């Protein structure tokens, strides 16, 4: 039976990954504040999702992933719209007002 040593959790790659998440996620609100000075609120959120989606799609394809099937495009679009409006879109709107 293996035992769990809690101290080993925060070593090496795990610590680097957590620090990266803290920095990227923490900088989100500053980036939103700067971006809404020059772009309309929901347009900024939409552009952000388009860039992220294109990067993730390209990365997935480079790693040998398949294209989404036609039957999955509608659910993908619905989820994207809900995330844009209900998730990030409302955060951007709240920062603007």
pLDDT tens profile 14-30: 889 999 999 988 888 88
Total of domains in the chain:
1
Residue 57 belongs to some domain of the structure: yes
**Which structural domain, as residue segments, surrounds residue 26?**
6-96
- Name the stretches of the chain with pLDDT < 70: 1-10
Are the beta carbons of 44 and 56 closer than 8 angstroms?
Answer: no
Q: Quick check: 36 and 96 in contact, CB under 8 A?
A: yes
Tell me if 76 is assigned to some domain: yes
Residue 1 falls inside a structural domain? no
Residue 56 lies in a domain: yes
Tokens of 95: 């920062």
């Amino acid at each position: 039976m293996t035992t769990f040593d809690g101290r080993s959790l925060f070593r090496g790659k795990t610590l680097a990954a957590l620090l990266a998440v803290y920095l990227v996620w923490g900088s989100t609100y500053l980036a939103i504040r700067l971006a809404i000075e020059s772009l309309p609120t929901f347009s900024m959120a939409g552009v952000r999702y388009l860039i992220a989606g294109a990067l993730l799609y390209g990365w997935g394809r480079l790693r040998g992933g398949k294209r989404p099937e036609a039957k999955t495009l509608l659910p993908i679009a619905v989820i994207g719209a809900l995330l844009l409006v209900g998730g990030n879109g409302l955060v951007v709107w709240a920062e603007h007002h």
